[in-house]
């Protein structure tokens, strides 16, 4: 759920433009990489959650203990990696938000703060 919120905030209001220009830019200090990173880890985290949820549903039907072991290790390893990536995302978005000029933010400040907040919550949920 947190990944969907981060993704939705960045896709919905993460890109904005100046009143005098139709050119869109990322709300996080005009750094396109900040928006791309948040969107990317949000989408991949959501897809991974769906995959591991399906694995959990079919887990009792898997009779081979070796396969079960590898699935549990894959889940544990992926969760550790994604915890680290969410931490990097939180630090990156927070840093870029701190450097963002107030005059560049017309709409979307709440979405940017929500993306930062829920990327922080995602660290603990993963």
Question: What pLDDT, in 10s, does the model give residues 21-43?
Answer: 888 889 999 899 999 999 999 99
Instruction: Give the Cβ contact number of residue 84 at 10 Å.
Output: 12
Contact, 108 vs 13, CB < 8 A? yes
Mean pLDDT of 44-67: 92
Instruction: Report pLDDT for 126.
Output: 87
Domain count along the chain: 1
Instruction: Give the Cβ contact number of residue 52 at 10 Å.
Output: 16
**pTM of structure:** 0.88
pLDDT of 124 strictly over 80: yes
For residues 116 and 92, give the distance between their C-alpha atoms in angstroms, rounded to a whole number. Answer: 9
Confidence of residue 105 (pLDDT cuts 50, 70, 90): confident
Instruction: Report pLDDT for 7.
Output: 92
Of the candidates 48, 120, 56, which has an alpha carbon nearest to the alpha carbon of residue 79? 48
More confident residue, 83 or 101: 83
pLDDT of 106 strictly over 80: no
Confidence of residue 19 (pLDDT cuts 50, 70, 90): confident
Contact, 15 vs 107, CB < 8 A? no
For residues 89 and 80, give the distance between their C-alpha atoms in angstroms, rounded to a whole number. Answer: 14
Q: Looking at 1-126, which runs of residues are DSSP E strands?
A: 15-16, 25-26
pLDDT tens-place string over residues 60-97: 998 888 999 999 999 999 999 999 999 999 999 999 99
For residues 41 and 90, give the distance between their C-alpha atoms in angstroms, rounded to a whole number. Answer: 11
Query: Which structural domain, as residue segments, surrounds residue 16?
Result: 1-125
């Amino acid at each position: 759920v947190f990944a969907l919120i981060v993704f939705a905030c960045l896709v919905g209001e993460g890109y904005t433009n100046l009143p005098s220009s139709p050119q869109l830019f990322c709300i996080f200090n005009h750094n396109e990489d900040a928006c791309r990173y948040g969107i990317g880890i949000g989408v991949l985290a959501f897809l991974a959650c769906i995959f591991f949820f399906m694995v959990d549903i079919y887990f009792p039907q898997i009779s081979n203990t070796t396969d079960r072991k590898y699935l549990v290790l894959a889940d544990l390893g992926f969760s550790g990696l994604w915890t680290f990536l969410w931490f990097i995302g939180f630090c990156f978005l927070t840093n870029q938000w701190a450097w963002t000029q107030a005059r560049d933010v017309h709409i979307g400040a709440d979405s940017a703060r929500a993306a930062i907040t829920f990327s922080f919550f995602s660290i603990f949920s993963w």
